[in-house]
Amino acid sequence: MNQALVEARKAYDADEVPVGAVIVIDNRIISRAHNLTERLIDVTAHAEMQAITAAAHFLNGKYLSNCTLYVTLEPCVMCMGAIYWSQLSRIVFAAHDSKRGYLQARLNTHPKAIVHGGIMGDEAQALLNDFFHKKRA
């Protein structure tokens, strides 16, 4: 999760919503990403989507079974759909998203996936709060 927070800080510095993600297989990071929605002018350019695409290219296959996604914010509905179809085995997120998170939509993950939430949530939430506080000021 520390490396996902590094990515989130890169997003923050680029004036993107500070969300970062990494995908790991066999204790090795195979992709890293952060939000690029402003830079790419693309609402689908969330950190999770970017990380999934990079990991699939790295593995030369569309399924990411045996991989773990670490992301600093609870995935949204769109990202959880991509997580579902990519068959990630494990999802670990930091901060909960009570407005747009997949849990609000009561979506299920892939039946074989394990989800852990709240890991380093305080750190991720502080970064998000600071970002949005500065936007409102």
Pick the catalytic residue from 7, 16, 48, 74: 48
Classify 64 as helix, strand or coil. Answer: coil
What's the distance, Cα to Cα, between the start and end of the chain in Å? 29
**Is residue 48 annotated as part of the catalytic site, yes or no?**
yes
- Which one, of 87, 86, 85, 121, lies nearest residue 101 by Cα? 121
Kindly provide the residue ranges of all beta strands, DSSP E only, lying in the chain, ordered along the sequence: 20-25, 28-34, 67-73, 90-95, 114-117
d(CA 78, CA 121): 21
Which active-site residues does the annotation give?
Answer: 48
